[in-house]
């Protein structure tokens, strides 16, 4: 079962109906039951043991920290915290981090010939559904208990629901315990929740099975045949993959948030028009928001406040001056932050395409910022104009596209794609720039009808994004329109999904790009 399947829609429809008929004190029990049913059909059922072990470890550690606090053994609180974190990270690393420990095992075997290292290379462990997401959620909860930001949950089943809550198991968002305490509250049936939830689910389906699936056909055809499709095809793959990823990931997130809204559970937003960003720093404040926020709150800020980092800051400021010293401290802390985000994704390609690439971009941007200001002033550029903002957004999109190519292809194939795209600009006769206007584009497995639908879908995305910038949500603007106009919009969108959605045998609509994390 996946969140785009017919049976998932049946599950949430029946589940929502029963949810509001039950005594309100039992509503959280039904959410737990729905989560277990979904897990049973969406993943290998026995892998829920990973989740149970993580939950029990964190549950016991949080209670132990609470009991030790204020006693003569208070110093043990830190050791309990570190032990629980270590257990969870080791389980995650062994199960999910094969791309990393496999690399180190290969290096160890090449240098030593140890049989144990060779056996690690062949080790295949099936991961739990949403392992990367629930691990960060549980660790965040445990750290919040240690910092006394939240009270430990006394009921282990409620903490288990916090970890296994079914809509967000597929691709997040990464919620905080304080944000999901509403799971255990009493909820009343409200028409607005049902309407807004259904509308958002429909919009998510449109993004995923109408747009992302079509763009995915183009991108996959080029990426899988790099010798056949060169030149401007490389630019198509480079620029279209971020669109595919956004439509896929944010479409899944719309479905997840819409399903939760049916149950009067309001999850944290994970996207906020990221392609409107003017800088890479702003981009990561709008893209996968909950991952960046988690890394800042639980990695960056504690690191900056640590004694070693404070001593390092004093040393660098004394040695290199206040401004340079501050930059070096920030660069060191940001390096750790981005490495954590890359490692969380699970392999060397992500460390290159996420960690190193964005760390370099952000640090260069900070270093060169004064020069950019002087340059724009010297050239009398109108930095508050639409054209300048458009240039900044296109530049940010290109930067993301380069990093995303590593995400999609791996290191060597991504470098080959980027090299070929670069040659288009400088090597005479290396490409045909008119491929969109001849029959060669149809070799990629799409029709002109598909291309028109992609253009229509992108236009709708832009319109909705503009409405969201002004009204917070486009559906709030739609709600203010006349009854007939509102229903025309939603019926038209439903028909687009029903008629033009690519679902069923032969399509990948059952899977999401970020589902594997």
Task: Find the domain containing 428 and state its range.
Answer: 190-267+396-509
pLDDT score at 375: 87
Residue 457 lies in a domain: yes
pLDDT score at 93: 82
Same domain, 156 and 91: yes
pLDDT score at 88: 92
Residue 458 lies in a domain: yes
Q: End of a domain among 138, 164, 185?
A: 185
Same domain, 206 and 309: no
Same domain, 301 and 343: yes
Beta bridge partners of 287: 271
How far is it, in rounded angstroms, from Cα 337 to Cα 335? 5
> How would you label 29-65 residue by residue, b for 16+ Cβ within 10 Å and e otherwise?
ebbbebbbebbeebbeeebbebbeebbebbbebbbbb
3-state secondary structure at position 149: coil
Beta bridge partners of 271: 287
Same domain, 173 and 241: no
Residue 430 lies in a domain: yes
Of 248, 249, 168, the residue nearest 216 (C-alpha):
248
Who's near 280: CB < 8 A, 6+ residues apart?
Answer: 358, 361, 362, 365, 396, 399, 400
Q: Are 29 and 109 in contact (CB under 8 A)?
A: no
Q: End of a domain among 164, 185, 206?
A: 185
Residue 208 lies in a domain: yes
Same domain, 70 and 167: yes
Same domain, 181 and 194: no
Q: What number is the average pLDDT over the span 216-240? A: 86
pLDDT digits (tens, 9 = 90+) for 102-124: 555 555 545 555 544 444 444 45
Show the tokens assigned to 486: 């509102």
pLDDT at 285 over 80: yes
How far is it, in rounded angstroms, from Cα 460 to Cα 452? 12
pLDDT digits (tens, 9 = 90+) for 47-96: 899 999 999 999 999 999 999 887 878 889 999 999 999 999 988 888 87
Which of 187-194's residues contact partners 24+ apart within 8 Å by CB, and which partners?
187/19, 187/20, 187/24, 187/27, 187/263, 187/264, 187/265, 188/20, 188/24, 188/264, 189/20, 190/264, 193/261, 193/262, 193/264, 194/16, 194/262
Q: What percent of the chain has pLDDT over 70?
A: 88
Residue 282 lies in a domain: no
Residue 388 lies in a domain: no
pLDDT averaged over the chain? 86
Same domain, 29 and 175: yes
pLDDT digits (tens, 9 = 90+) for 411-440: 888 888 888 888 776 665 555 555 555 566
How far is it, in rounded angstroms, from Cα 469 to Cα 448? 32
Same domain, 220 and 140: no
Residue 387 lies in a domain: no
Q: End of a domain among 381, 404, 421?
A: 381
Same domain, 17 and 160: yes
pLDDT band per the 50, 70, 90 thresholds, residue 266: very high
pLDDT band per the 50, 70, 90 thresholds, residue 43: confident
How far is it, in rounded angstroms, from Cα 482 to Cα 56? 52
Q: What is the 3-state secondary structure (H, E, C) of 249-277?
A: HHHHHHHHHHHHHHCCCCCCCCECCHHHC
Residue 357 lies in a domain: yes
Same domain, 26 and 156: yes
Number of domains in the chain: 3
Same domain, 366 and 400: no
Same domain, 328 and 344: yes
CA distances 336 to 274, 295, 340, Å, are: 23, 10, 6
């Amino acid at each position: 079962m996946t969140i785009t399947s017919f049976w998932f829609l049946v599950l949430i429809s029946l589940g929502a109906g029963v949810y509001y008929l039950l005594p309100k004190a039992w509503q959280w029990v039904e959410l737990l039951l729905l989560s277990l049913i979904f897990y049973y059909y969406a993943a290998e059922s026995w892998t829920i043991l990973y989740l149970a072990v993580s939950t029990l470890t964190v549950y016991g550690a949080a209670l132990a920290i609470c009991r030790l606090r204020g006693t003569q053994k208070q110093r043990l609180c830190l050791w309990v915290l570190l032990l629980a974190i270590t257990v969870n990270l080791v389980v995650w690393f062994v199960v999910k981090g094969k791309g990393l420990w496999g690399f180190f095992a290969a290096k160890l075997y090449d240098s030593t010939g140890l049989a144990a290292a060779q056996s690690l290379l062949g080790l295949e462990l099936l991961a739990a559904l949403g392992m990367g997401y629930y691990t960060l959620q549980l660790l965040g909860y445990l750290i919040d208990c240690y910092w006394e930001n939240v009270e430990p949950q006394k009921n282990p089943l409620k903490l288990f629901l916090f970890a296994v809550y079914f809509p967000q198991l597929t691709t997040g968002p990464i919620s905080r315990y304080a944000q999901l305490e509403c799971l255990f509250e009493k909820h009343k049936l409200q028409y607005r929740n049902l309407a807004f939830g259904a509308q958002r689910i429909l919009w998510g389906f449109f993004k995923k099975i109408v747009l992302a699936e079509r763009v995915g056909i183009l991108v996959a055809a080029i990426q899988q045949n790099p010798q056949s499709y060169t030149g401007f095809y490389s630019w198509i793959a480079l620029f279209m993959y971020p669109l595919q990823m956004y439509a896929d990931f944010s479409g899944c997130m719309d479905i997840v948030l819409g399903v939760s809204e049916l149950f009067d559970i309001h999850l944290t937003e994970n996207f906020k028009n990221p392609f409107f960003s003017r800088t890479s720093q702003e981009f990561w404040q709008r893209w996968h928001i909950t991952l960046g926020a988690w890394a800042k709150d639980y990695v960056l800020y504690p690191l900056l406040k640590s004694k070693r980092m404070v001593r390092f800051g004093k040393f660098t400021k004394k040695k290199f001056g206040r401004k340079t010293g501050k930059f070096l401290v920030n660069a060191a802390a940001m390096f750790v932050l981005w490495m954590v985000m890359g490692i969380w994704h699970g392999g060397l390609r992500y460390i290159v395409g996420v960690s190193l690439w964005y760390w370099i971009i952000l640090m260069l941007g900070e270093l060169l910022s004064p020069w950019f200001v002087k340059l724009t002033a010297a050239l009398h550029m109108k930095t508050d104009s639409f054209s300048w903002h458009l240039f900044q957004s296109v530049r940010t999109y290109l930067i993301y596209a380069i990093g995303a190519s590593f995400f999609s292809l791996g290191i060597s194939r991504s470098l080959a794609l980027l090299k070929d795209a670069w040659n288009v600009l400088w090597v005479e006769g290396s490409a045909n720039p008119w491929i969109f206007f001849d029959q060669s584009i149809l070799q990629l497995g799409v029709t002109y009808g598909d291309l028109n639908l992609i253009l229509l879908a992108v236009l709708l995305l832009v319109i909705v994004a503009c409405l969201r910038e002004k009204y917070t949500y486009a559906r709030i603007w739609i709600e203010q329109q006349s009854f007939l106009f509102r229903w025309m919009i939603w019926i038209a969108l439903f028909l687009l999904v029903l008629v033009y959605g690519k679902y069923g045998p032969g399509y990948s609509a059952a899977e999401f790009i970020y589902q594997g994390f």
